[in-house]
Amino acid sequence: MAFYTIEPERATLRGSFSREFPPVLTIESGDTVRFRTLDVGWGLEPHAAPGAERRTFAPRIKGRDDGHALCGPVAIRGAQPGMTLEVQIGLIRPGLWGTTYFGSGRKALYQRLGIAEHPDMLTWTLDPDRMIGRDQKGQSVPLRPFLGVMGLPPDEPGIHATNPPRVSGGNIDCKELVAGSVLYLPIAVPGALFSTGDGHAAQGDGEVCGTAIECPMEQVDLTFRLREDLHLTTPRARTPAGWITLGFDKDLNEATMIALSAMLDLLEEHHHLERPRALALASLVVDLRVTQIVNGVCGVHAVLPPGAISHLI
């Protein structure tokens, strides 16, 4: 199996998804790609202080590069609509700095929470060896890095924003997609056309202020395999936390039903459970978690922990 490297440069960066983008790399099923990524805001350096200007990547193409800084797309030879792309997440090493932004356009949220004023941002110094981050006030948090965006374009013409998650992935923002996880994405277009970016050094479920510790990623190793035997309509993942099924919708309740229905599908497929029994068991051992509420389209993930049902081990 071959090994490739993608660096963030003009030829490899996009700020949107499109089935019309030519691939920057075409690989075989089973190949591995090592990515280095910019932070969400295309930054080339940390902020010297909250609100301070900094160097960002240029030039950027207006209308195409308005969203997250993504590396890709990567085509997988032989990928066709109806197949599933398996993405095995290997080593993840964050950069040395990060930022938590208090997102613009969230005035109503702050008012609802009784917050009259807020800082522009928290700036973080990251220690990827000890996996600790420290902000400008000296507060520390443990790091658990993952990629916020991993996805494929929809089978629709034109440019598609990076912000909302879709059935083919994208801005999933699920904190469980750490090293050692395997993400499964429904393929909608020939070649699959995978892109990634939006490094997060740490994030809670919900991503409640609008951002995580947004950081560049020094190294992320992803191995890609085509699954002709697996036909999905929504993403799922196998993670250290257990099996995860994901639901996305503007309505949080509907996102919940999508994630739960996909979990019942998983229980039926893997363990030949009748759907009513799968639902009853899910009520006992499956956790429903709010992935994020800040991307226009809400996310919910259902989690089946390892060993939750003895005969499933």
CATH of the domain at 24: 2.60.120.580
Q: Where are the alpha helices (DSSP H) in the chain?
A: 107-112, 252-271, 275-285
Q: Assign 176 a pLDDT band (cuts: 50, 70, 90).
A: very high
For the entire predicted model, the pTM comes to 0.96
Residue 253 has pLDDT above 60, yes or no: yes
My answer on whether 247 and 221 are in the same domain is: no
My answer on whether 303 and 163 are in the same domain is: no
My answer on whether 164 and 277 are in the same domain is: no
Residue labelled with tokens 């920057």: 24
**Which residues on neighbouring strands pair with residue 92, listed in sequence order?**
220
User: 146 vs 85, 217, 301, CA distance in Å?
Assistant: 18, 9, 16
My answer on whether 219 and 263 are in the same domain is: no
Assess if residue 118 is contained within a domain.
no
Assess if residue 129 is contained within a domain.
no
Assess if residue 134 is contained within a domain.
no
My answer on whether 146 and 187 are in the same domain is: yes
Of 210 and 262, the structure prediction assigns the larger pLDDT to 262
My answer on whether 16 and 72 are in the same domain is: yes
Strand order in the sheet with 97-101: 97-101, 121-127, 132-135, 140-142
Residues 6+ apart with CB under 8 A from 248: 164, 165, 166, 167, 234, 255, 258, 297, 298, 299
My answer on whether 281 and 306 are in the same domain is: yes
Q: Assign 56 a pLDDT band (cuts: 50, 70, 90).
A: very high
CATH of the domain at 295: 3.10.28.20
d(CA 301, CA 259): 6
Q: Which helix (H) or strand (E) holds 10?
A: none
| Long-range contacts (CB closer than 8 Å, 24 or more residues apart) made by 43-46 | 43/99, 43/216, 45/97, 46/96, 46/97, 46/98, 46/99, 46/123
Under a CB-based contact definition with an 8 Å cutoff, are residues 242 and 182 in contact?
no
Domain count, the chain: 2
Task: Tell me the pLDDT tens digit for each residue of 283-313.
Answer: 999 999 999 999 999 999 999 999 887 754 4
My answer on whether 78 and 212 are in the same domain is: yes
Assess if residue 235 is contained within a domain.
no
Q: Assign 21 a pLDDT band (cuts: 50, 70, 90).
A: very high
Domain boundary among 173, 198, 227: 227
- Quote the domain boundaries for residue 257: 241-312
Of 110 and 96, the structure prediction assigns the larger pLDDT to 96
The pair of structure tokens assigned to 149 is 């965006």
Assess if residue 188 is contained within a domain.
yes
Task: Tell me the pLDDT tens digit for each residue of 105-161.
Answer: 677 778 888 887 666 789 999 999 999 999 999 999 999 999 999 999 999 999 999
- Quick one: residue 229, left, alpha or beta (phi over 0 = left, psi -120 to 50 = alpha)? alpha
Assess if residue 137 is contained within a domain.
no
Q: What are the b/e assignments for 233-258, b being 16+ CB within 10 Å?
A: ebbbbbbebbbbbbbbbeeeeebbeb
Under a CB-based contact definition with an 8 Å cutoff, are residues 16 and 65 in contact?
yes
My answer on whether 189 and 288 are in the same domain is: no
Q: Assign 261 a pLDDT band (cuts: 50, 70, 90).
A: very high
Chain-wide mean pLDDT for the chain?
95
The pair of structure tokens assigned to 29 is 């099923």
Domain boundary among 158, 192, 227: 227
d(CA 238, CA 177): 9
